Structure 1
Amino acid sequence: MPKYLLFGTYCDHVLSKREPYRKAHLEGIKKQKEAGIVVTICPTQDLTKVFGIYEAENEEIVRQLIESDVYWLNGIWTEYEVKEWIQVF
């Protein structure tokens, strides 16, 4: 199954702004992980970027998951890019 990389940007003051949505965000990611779609997803150390690896049938599925996440819907993630990843090893 194809793998996709998520590169995204967090809003300013992410720690305080994400608080009302954090529980719902983590629950959604947990379900995606259990379903085998999310391999990993995490912020950078400086909390400016988000990075994720997805395994899905196509890019549209990944985009739908990102755009239905409470972080996207509430402006915690402010922009994103998805790229198909060719894993060699």
Structure 2
Amino acid sequence: MSTELKKFLVWGSYCENVLEKRAPFRQVHLDNIKAMYESGRLLTIGPTQDLTKVFAVYVAIDIAAARQLVEADIYWQNGIWTDYEIHEWTQVY
């Protein structure tokens, strides 16, 4: 088994009324993504301007580990993110 880290693109959807529904979880979410970014497990994350989708690039050993990172987020656990697609990414530049 390889221990090489891979990059995974994630596109997800937000729930309706996301601004109101995320409020109780927002600081925990922000603290978590900051810690993941600082440790190198997250390269970027953010919403689309219309707040309907989220985009992220996670770094993990395999797709199962990347899914664990997504599903450990308080937004996923509380239905703020309602679904997501994940794809291994080959970065050229």
Q: Secondary structure of 2:88's partner?
A: strand
State TM-score, norm by structure 2: 0.92
Q: CA RMSD in A?
A: 0.7
Report sequence identity in percent.
54
Offset at 1:2? Answer: 1.2
- What is the letter of the counterpart of residue 66 of structure 2? V
**1:88 aligned onto 2:92:** yes
In structure 2, the residue matched to 1:64 is 68
- Deviation per CA, 1:34-70, whole angstroms, max 9, x where unpaired? 1101000000000000000112111111101111111
Gaps of 5+ in 1: none
Counterpart CA distance in 2 for 1:39 and 1:79 is 20
Gaps of 5+ in 2: none
Q: Which runs of 4+ in 1 moved over 2 A?
A: none
State TM-score, norm by structure 1: 0.96
In structure 2, the residue matched to 1:31 is 35
